[in-house]
């Protein structure tokens, strides 16, 4: 892999990129969904969504400035811009002709149902404008997260990573991770993405560790694997660290992986050890899964709460 910046872990300025953002429409119904019957609810939320946007919101709440960029268009794009303004998250998006998408999550007694729009089709000129926008910002750390809109492939992510001296964190599907060709600070696959990126099984913790080690060798300084209710795994050049999840009541898993990445990056930005950054990742994610939607929960005392997270070396 080429591009990127070596040396110490980054701190300071963070810029997130969400190429395929969405309005996250989350609603809850009290009765099971049945074919042919109308389900009614007055419990609904509309949040600015997309992995990079989520990371910006969580880092901002953790007192780390993290402006957001990417592509916005149409009425849902305007809703996202207004929501970020309301949340105090700085934004500098490239305006496109297409329409930003709407993603819907239905919380029912039977579980979660998700319907995601594909999003707009973008042109090469849109990518050129985004690369220039990132160069103008000149962050110390760039976070590229989420799905890619139609018309864009992983070479656009590599261009962003190699367009300046910043480190780049990435969070996207496993098939996309395996096609990246630049140097990256960290990637954050879940268990399924870890398996897809490496072609290895990921059923056990040891299998996940082996897959993460293999993935790290393909050009990532760190691999932070989110394992759902089993916690998280961090693989560095010298160790594989495991932390179980905290015992909390899980209300909604939307944004959990983004919160985990945010907590880890917050730890690095504070100059903390790998183990402390992993503890922060678990603690932040535990707060996010305790609320519905992608709204930002209260993060007061989260750095103290992380001390209850156990970290061990595999």
State if pTM tops 0.85.
yes
Instruction: Check the CA dihedral 64-295-142-94 and report its sign.
Output: negative
Tokens 């957001």 correspond to: 68
Residues 6+ apart with CB under 8 A from 272: 280
Q: Per residue in 87-136, pLDDT tens?
A: 899 999 999 999 999 989 899 999 889 898 888 999 999 999 999 999 99
- Structural domain spans, the chain: 14-33+41-313
pLDDT of residue 293: 64
- Mean pLDDT, range 72-98, rounded to an integer: 95
Q: Per residue in 2-44, pLDDT tens?
A: 333 344 555 458 999 999 999 989 899 999 999 999 999 988 8
- The CATH fold assigned to 14-33+41-313 is 3.40.1190
Paired with 143 in beta bridges are 16, 169
Find, among 61, 229, 257, 230, the residue nearest to 146 by Cα: 257
**How far is 104 from 237, CA to CA, in rounded Å?**
39
pLDDT of residue 11: 47
pLDDT of residue 44: 86
Q: Which residues are catalytic?
A: 258
CB distance 283 to 256 below 8 Å: no
SS3 at position 221 = strand
Task: Report the chain's C-alpha Rg in angstroms.
Answer: 19
| Residue 162 reports pLDDT greater than 90 | yes
| Residue 161 reports pLDDT greater than 90 | yes
pLDDT of residue 6: 43
């Amino acid at each position: 892999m080429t591009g990127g910046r070596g040396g110490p872990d980054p701190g300071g300025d963070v810029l997130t990129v969400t190429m395929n953002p969405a309005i996250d429409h989350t609603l809850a119904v009290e009765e099971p969904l049945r074919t042919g019957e109308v389900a009614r609810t007055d419990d609904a939320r509309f949040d600015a969504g997309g992995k990079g946007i989520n990371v910006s919101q969580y880092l901002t709440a953790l007192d780390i400035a993290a402006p957001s960029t990417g592509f916005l268009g149409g009425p849902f794009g305007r809703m996202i811009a207004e929501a970020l303004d309301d949340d105090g998250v700085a934004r500098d998006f490239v305006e496109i002709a297409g329409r930003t998408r709407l993603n819907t999550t239905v919380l029912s007694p039977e579980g979660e149902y998700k319907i995601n729009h594909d999003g707009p089709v973008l042109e090469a000129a849109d990518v050129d404008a985004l690369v220039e926008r990132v160069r103008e910002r000149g962050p110390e750390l760039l976070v590229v997260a989420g799905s890619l809109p139609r018309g864009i492939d992983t070479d656009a992510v590599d261009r962003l990573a190699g367009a300046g001296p910043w480190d780049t964190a990435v969070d996207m599907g496993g098939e996309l991770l395996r096609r990246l060709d630049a140097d990256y600070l960290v990637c954050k696959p879940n268990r399924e993405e870890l398996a897809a990126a490496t072609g290895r099984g990921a059923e056990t913790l040891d299998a996940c560790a082996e897959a993460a080690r293999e993935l790290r060798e393909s050009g990532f300084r760190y691999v932070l694997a989110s394992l759902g209710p089993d916690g998280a795994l961090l693989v560095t050049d010298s160790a594989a660290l495991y932390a179980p999840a905290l015992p909390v009541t899980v209300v909604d898993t939307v944004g959990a992986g983004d919160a985990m990445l945010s907590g880890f990056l917050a730890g690095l930005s504070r100059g903390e050890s790998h183990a402390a950054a992993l503890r922060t990742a678990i603690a932040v994610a535990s707060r996010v899964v305790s609320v519905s939607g992608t709204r930002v929960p209260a993060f007061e005392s989260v750095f103290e709460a992380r001390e209850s997270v156990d970290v061990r070396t595999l």
